């Protein structure tokens, strides 16, 4: 149990880079990636935020609206100024692509953007491949820096390569990216705090320098990262049989969630709900942004003992074949009672949403 | 061909960081092909055969954990409850009034470093005017921690090269001279890098002046049990301060005493005047931890909780700890005996016996330390510090020869 180097387990880092950048990535071969083992996704984001503060002190970070709440805490505690950019479109429960593109264009050249590589948390709304290409192009025009938070690779679609598509598009387009990876969900290593931060640099020498500085940031925070989770990750990914088993298991987890999405939507439709629930299956990953208001959420909690965050985010991971009917029923009944007693709710009534205005 | 706004690397201005002073020693040692080479830079315990040591009780605990098959769900931000309870009881004593009254805010953190950093961040946020006083010398990373947390620090005299002992008067004077309400960073036992600890009487006087100046004592306890072999004895300095009713910060680490180095397991404890205060302090420490790493790693915490929670394993741990501390005491003795026997100058080497813990400040200066390496293939840090944890009985005579040569023939 000797101390890992400050930058963490080399084996774990190497395997992580292959996952994110591609097995045969030229950037890996050319040693252009500065990478360190980090304390899961949080730790990776924090290292990057501190690095930004130290070496790019005039920079700020653009964070999507909404995002995982801890993103705000991380960049705030790192003392990097934050801005937000348009992301979620409440009316369609989908992506506000036009708003997103406007914000990208209006941001000053060379801005830093936090992007969720897949399975956006909390909305579950991801850009399509085409949309990613457009975003990448505009980033090139504006010389923006993309920082990817990839917390769900493999866990979103069931296929790690597919879930890394956005990153691969940006790499193809010649961007230098940053990437936070987490093994919390896709390997179920939550409490082990296993993750990786990588930054694609100009060349090997720069990568060595950047890595050395990331280590300097880590050292007065925790000296060197914990070994146990990194051992589990590197053993699994280094062994073809274990890796293959992992790919099966992660697909199994993703499939179960996709199945629950389908089931919830079907249940609601079968109950005769007049509302549109397409977003349940359009969205991806662990979370479903239901569109429910805090008051509606409170009703579900108080009257039906269903617990979720008050922004209407449902963790589909908590839905099972055993409870999906109950959940659908509760949601349906709750909305029905609102329709029958409109004065009880302060929210706007929810109409069947138009089809996606951004084909 | 798409238009591009600018095309210069953002990281042009990122320089190569200086190499780590300790790591550099190990690297140079690895590169040395000489059979006689000895690595005394290492800050990790080695057996007599100079091998790393995983405690038997740790292996036992890990097997137990595998059998239990517990899940890997996130811990709460403050860490594993069973660990937090065990660690505070170990430090203060289970019957200590501060524990019984619920006045201690304890958070599992990333070993000693992580605990110190959380405390530093807390100090920066809630005591922005305060300064931390650190010993001269101290563990190298202390300064980095307070620098990165943006907490100003200054040094108090500690090591006296003339006596190779404690500059007690200098220490007291400097603590006295500091502005009221400063934080005073104290090594609970086995001072790193000198191995020189205050005596119980000196601790009382240090507590007196800290109390008088309304300073906040801040203990770094990285070697509890490992220094003397006794957990209680090594915690006596902390307990002395707590008994006076003072509010105290204490950072703990299980890296050395349970050999859990790479698991990163430790805790930050804040003894407060009332339970309600402890709750508030704990809540704010959590707010600092969340944007750093969200919640701490489970594995090391479970090992500690299992070992401490089981009387048989706890007993086995105490035994193995005594053995580790005992081995170090034995090499100290042998080194002292060898030096006394071989050195005809009459120099008094007894400071080696008075020092305690993993490290010893030999009193060698940089040039002399270089001679140790260049001529004798003995690797150590340039401040004259040797790690006795990396020394075997078999090598004591060789080391003595090297020290005598470097001390007398090199200036």
Per-residue buried b or exposed e for A207-236, using 16+ beta carbons within 10 Å of the residue's own CB: bebbbbbbbbbbbbbbbbbbbbbbbbbbeb
> C-alpha distances in angstroms, A291 versus A64, A71, A113, A160, B91?
17, 22, 25, 28, 50
Q: Which residue has the higher pLDDT, A341 or A126?
A: A126
Any idea what DSSP says for residue B99?
Answer: H
pLDDT tens sequence across B187-239: 999 999 999 999 999 999 999 999 999 999 999 999 999 999 999 999 999 99
Q: Listing from the earlier edge strand, what are the strands of the sheet with A194-200?
A: A33-39, A194-200, A178-182, A145-150, A112-116, A61-65, A82-86
Q: Is the pLDDT of residue B395 over 60?
A: yes
pLDDT digits (tens, 9 = 90+) for B52-99: 999 999 999 999 999 999 999 999 999 999 999 999 999 999 999 999
Q: Kindly tell me if the per-residue pLDDT of B3 is higher than 90.
A: no
A149 is catalytic: yes
Mean pLDDT is lowest, of A172-186, A282-296, A328-342, for A328-342
Q: Which residues of A touch B23 (CB under 8 A)?
A: 5-6
Percentage of the residues of chain A whose pLDDT score is greater than 90? 91
CB contact under 8 A, A220 and B260: no
Catalytic hit among B167, B174, B197, B220: B220
Beta bridge partners of A61: A82, A112
Three-class DSSP labels, A250-303: HHHHHHHHHHHHHHHHHHHHHCCCCCCCHHHHHCCCCEEECCCCHHHHHHHHHH
Residue of A nearest to B62 (CA): A228
Residue indicated by tokens 């005591």:
B127
Q: Do A228 and B297 touch (CB under 8 A)?
A: yes
CA distance A334 to chain B (A): 32
Task: Measure the CA–CA gap between A201 and A284, rounded to whole angstroms.
Answer: 31
By CB atoms closer than 10 A (0-12, 13-18, 19+), residue B202 is middle
Buried-exposed string B118-157: b where 16+ CB fall within 10 A, e elsewhere: bbbbbbbeeeeebbbbbbbbbbebbebbbebbebebeebb
Joined together, the tokens standing for residue B325 give 């501390």
Residue B343 is a catalytic residue? no
- For every residue of chain A, which 3-state class applies, written as one string? CCCCCCCCCHHHHHHHHHHHHCCCCHHHHCCCEEEEEEEHHHHHHHHHHHHHHHHCCCCCEEEEECCCHHHHHHHHHCCCCEEEEECEECCCCEECHHHHHHHHHHCCCCCEEEEECCCCCCCCCCCCHHHHHHHHHHHHHHCCEEEEEECCCCCCCCCHHHHCHHHHHHHHCCCCCEEEEECCCCCCCHHHCEEEEEEECCCHHHHHHHHHHHHHHHHHHHCCCCHHHHHHHHHHHHCHHHHHHHHHHHHHHHHHHHHHHHHHHHHHHHCCCCCCCHHHHHCCCCEEECCCCHHHHHHHHHHHCCCCCCCCEEEHHHCCCCCHHHHHHHHHHHHHHHHHCHHHCCCCCCCCCCCCCCC
The pLDDT tens digits for B132-161 are: 999 999 998 999 999 999 999 999 999 999
Per-residue confidence (pLDDT) for residue B27, from 0 to 100: 81
Lowest mean pLDDT among A278-282, A348-352, B177-181: A348-352
| pLDDT 10s digits, B21-45 | 776 788 889 899 999 999 999 789 9
Q: What percent of chain A has pLDDT over 70?
A: 95
What is the structure's pLDDT at A350? Answer: 47
In 3D space, the residue among B218, B238, B223, B249 whose CA is nearest the CA of residue B92 turns out to be: B238
Active site residue B349: no
> Strand pairing of A61-65 and A82-86?
parallel
Inter-chain Cβ pairs, chain A and chain B, closer than 8 A: 169
pLDDT reported for residue A343: 62
Question: Under an 8 A CB cutoff, do B10 and A56 touch?
Answer: yes
Q: How far is CA A164 from CA A9, A16, A153, A204, A336, in A?
A: 22, 12, 7, 23, 40
Query: In angstroms, rounded to a whole number, what is the distance separating the alpha carbons of residues B310 and B331?
Result: 32
Query: Is pLDDT above 70 for A344?
Result: no
Q: Does ipTM top 0.90? A: yes
Within 10 angstroms of residue B245's Cβ, the number of other Cβ atoms is 12
- Which residue of chain B has the CA closest to A205? B16
Residues A302, A328: Cα–Cα separation, whole Å = 16
Q: By CA distance, what is B52's nearest residue in A?
A: A2
Tens digits of residue pLDDT in A11-27:
999 999 999 999 999 99
Q: Do A109 and B117 touch (CB under 8 A)?
A: no
**Model confidence at A353, in pLDDT bands (50, 70, 90)?**
very low
> How confident is the prediction for chain A on average, in pLDDT?
94
Average pLDDT of the residues in A99-116: 98
Nearest to B113 by CA among B76, B142, B134: B142
Does the N-terminal peptide bond of residue A224 adopt cis geometry, omega within 30 degrees of 0?
Answer: no
Catalytic residue among A50, A103, A149, A163: A149
Q: What is the mean pLDDT of chain B?
A: 95
Cα separations (Å) of B259 from B57, B111, B220, B255?
10, 12, 17, 5
Q: Which residue of A has its CA nearest to B121?
A: A77
Question: Among B11, B77, B108, B303, which would you mutate to test the A interface (most chain A Cβ atoms within 10 Å of its Cβ)?
Answer: B11
Residues 6+ apart with CB under 8 A from A216: B17
For residue B15, the chain A residues in CB contact (below 8 A) are: 209, 213
CA distance B141 to chain A (A): 6
Answer whether residue A51 shows pLDDT above 70.
yes
All residues at 6 or more sequence positions from A11 whose CB lies less than 8 Å from its CB, including other chains: A230, A234, A238
Name the pLDDT band for B2 (thresholds 50, 70, 90): very low
Cα radius of gyration rounded to whole Å, chain B: 22
Q: Select the residue of A55, A76, A188 nearest B14 (Cβ to Cβ).
A: A55
Closest CA to B299 of B57, B106, B59, B62: B62
CB pair distance less than 8 Å for A1 and B7: no
What are A26's two structure tokens?
A: 């030229």
Give CA–CA dist A101/A86, Å, rounded.
8
In Å, how far is B347's CA from the nearest CA of chain A?
37
- pLDDT of A339: 84
Q: What is the pLDDT of residue B9?
A: 82
- Which residue out of B9, B19, B291, B387 would a mutagenesis test of the A interface target, given it has the greatest number of A Cβ atoms within 10 Å? B291
**Among A110, A223, A253, which would you mutate to test the B interface (most chain B Cβ atoms within 10 Å of its Cβ)?**
A223
Please report residues of B whose CB lies closer than 8 A to that of A208: 16
Query: Is pLDDT at A202 greater than 90 in this prediction?
Result: yes
Q: Stretch B366-382: mean pLDDT, rounded?
A: 95
Asked whether residue A347 carries a pLDDT value surpassing 70, the answer given is: no
What residues of chain B lie within 8 A of the CB of A199, using their CB? 11
């Amino acid at each position: 149990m000797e101390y890992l180097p400050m930058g963490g387990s080399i084996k774990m880092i190497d395997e992580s880079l292959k996952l994110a950048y591609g097995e045969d990535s030229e950037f890996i071969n050319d040693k252009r990636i500065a990478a360190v083992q980090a304390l899961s996704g949080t730790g990776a984001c924090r290292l990057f935020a501190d690095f930004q503060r130290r070496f790019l002190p005039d920079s700020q970070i653009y964070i999507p609206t909404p995002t995982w709440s801890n993103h705000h805490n991380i960049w705030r505690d790192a003392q990097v100024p934050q801005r937000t950019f348009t992301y979620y479109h409440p009316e369609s429960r989908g992506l506000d692509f036009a708003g997103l593109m406007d914000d990208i264009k209006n941001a000053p050249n060379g801005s830093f953007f936090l992007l969720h590589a897949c399975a956006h948390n909390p909305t579950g709304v991801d850009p399509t491949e085409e949309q990613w290409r457009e975003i990448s192009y505009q980033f090139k025009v504006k010389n923006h820096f993309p920082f990817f938070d990839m917390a769900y690779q493999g866990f979103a679609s069931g296929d790690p390569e597919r879930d890394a598509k956005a990153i691969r598009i940006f790499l193809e387009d010649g961007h230098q990216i940053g990437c936070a990876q987490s093994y919390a969900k896709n390997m179920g290593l939550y409490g082990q705090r296993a993750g990786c931060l990588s930054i694609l640099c100009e060349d090997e020498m720069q990568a060595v320098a950047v890595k050395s500085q990331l280590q300097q940031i880590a050292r007065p925070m925790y000296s060197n990262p914990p070994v146990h989770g990194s051992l589990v990750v590197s053993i699994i990914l280094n062994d073809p049989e274990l890796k293959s088993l992992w790919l099966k298991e992660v697909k199994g987890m993703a499939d179960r969630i996709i199945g629950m999405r389908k089931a919830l939507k079907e249940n609601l439709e079968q109950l005769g709900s007049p509302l549109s629930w397409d977003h349940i299956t359009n969205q991806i990953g662990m979370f479903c942004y239901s569109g429910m208001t805090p008051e509606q959420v409170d009703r579900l909690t108080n009257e039906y003992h269903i617990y979720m965050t008050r922004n209407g985010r449902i963790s589909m991971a908590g839905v099972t074949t055993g409870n999906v009917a109950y959940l659908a029923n509760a949601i349906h009944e709750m909305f029905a009672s609102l329709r029958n007693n409109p004065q009880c709710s302060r929210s706007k009534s929810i109409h069947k949403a138009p089809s996606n205005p951004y084909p | 061909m798409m238009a591009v706004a600018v095309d210069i690397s953002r990281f042009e201005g990122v320089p190569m960081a200086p190499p780590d002073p300790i790591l550099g020693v190990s690297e140079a040692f690895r590169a040395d092909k000489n059979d006689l080479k000895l690595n005394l830079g290492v800050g990790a315990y080695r057996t007599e055969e100079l091998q790393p040591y995983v405690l038997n009780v740790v292996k036992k605990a890990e097997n137990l954990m595998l059998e239990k098959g517990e899940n890997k769900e996130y811990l709460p931000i403050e860490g594993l409850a069973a660990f937090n309870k065990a660690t505070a009881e170990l430090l203060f004593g289970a019957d200590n009034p501060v524990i019984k009254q619920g006045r201690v805010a304890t958070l599992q953190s990333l070993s000693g470093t992580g605990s110190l950093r959380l405390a530093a961040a807390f100090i920066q946020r809630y005591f922005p005017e305060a300064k931390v006083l650190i010993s001269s010398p101290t563990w190298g990373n202390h300064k980095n921690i307070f620098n990165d947390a943006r907490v100003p620090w200054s040094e108090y005299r500690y090591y006296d090269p003339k006596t190779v002992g404690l500059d007690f008067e200098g220490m007291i004077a400097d603590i006295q001279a500091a502005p009221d309400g400063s934080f005073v960073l104290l090594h609970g036992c086995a001072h790193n890098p000198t191995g020189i600890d205050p005596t119980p009487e000196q601790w009382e006087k240090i507590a007196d002046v800290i109390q008088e100046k309304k300073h906040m004592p801040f203990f770094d306890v990285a070697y509890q049990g490992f220094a003397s072999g006794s957990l209680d004895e090594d915690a006596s300095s902390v307990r002395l301060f707590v008994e006076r009713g003072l509010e105290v910060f204490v950072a703990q680490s299980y890296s050395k005493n349970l050999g859990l180095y790479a698991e990163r397991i430790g805790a930050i404890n804040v003894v407060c005047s009332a339970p309600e205060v402890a709750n508030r302090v704990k809540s704010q420490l959590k707010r600092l931890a969340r944007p750093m790493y969200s919640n701490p790693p489970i594995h090391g915490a479970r090992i500690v909780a299992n070992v401490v929670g089981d009387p048989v394993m706890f007993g086995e741990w105490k035994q193995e700890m005594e053995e580790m501390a005992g081995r170090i005491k034995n090499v100290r003795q042998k080194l002292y005996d060898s030096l006394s026997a071989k050195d005809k100058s009459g120099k008094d080497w007894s400071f080696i016996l008075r020092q305690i813990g993993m490290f010893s400040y030999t009193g060698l200066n940089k040039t002399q330390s270089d001679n140790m390496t260049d001529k004798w293939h003995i690797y150590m840090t340039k401040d004259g510090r040797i790690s006795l944890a990396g020394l075997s009985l078999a090598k004591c005579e060789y080391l003595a020869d090297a020290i005598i040569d470097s001390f007398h023939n090199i200036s």
